[in-house]
Amino acid sequence: MTLIEMLDKFMNYKQTEGLTKPTIQGYYEHFHYLNYFLGGDDSNDEVTVELCLFLLS
């Protein structure tokens, strides 16, 4: 499963929770930054703990 596919599933779930439009937009904005950092739509197998720690540091 790719990150975009995972985001779609996650966002469908979040929208059923009744989150506000700005909150939903914030999720998409943060995902855009992550996707840009990773250089494209990677599979979930390619995203490691080390990669996430590097992103957050």
Tokens of residue 46, six digits = 């390619």
| Cβ 42 vs Cβ 2: under 8 Å | yes
Instruction: Please give the Cα distance from 57 to 45 (Å, whole number).
Output: 21
Q: CA nearest 35: which of 24, 46, 50, 19?
A: 46
Interacting residues of 3 by C-beta distance below 8 A, sequence separation 6+? 31, 34, 35, 38, 41, 42, 43, 44, 47
pLDDT at 4: 86
Q: Domain spans of the chain?
A: 3-56
pTM of the model: 0.69
Query: Which portions of the chain are predicted below pLDDT 70?
Result: none
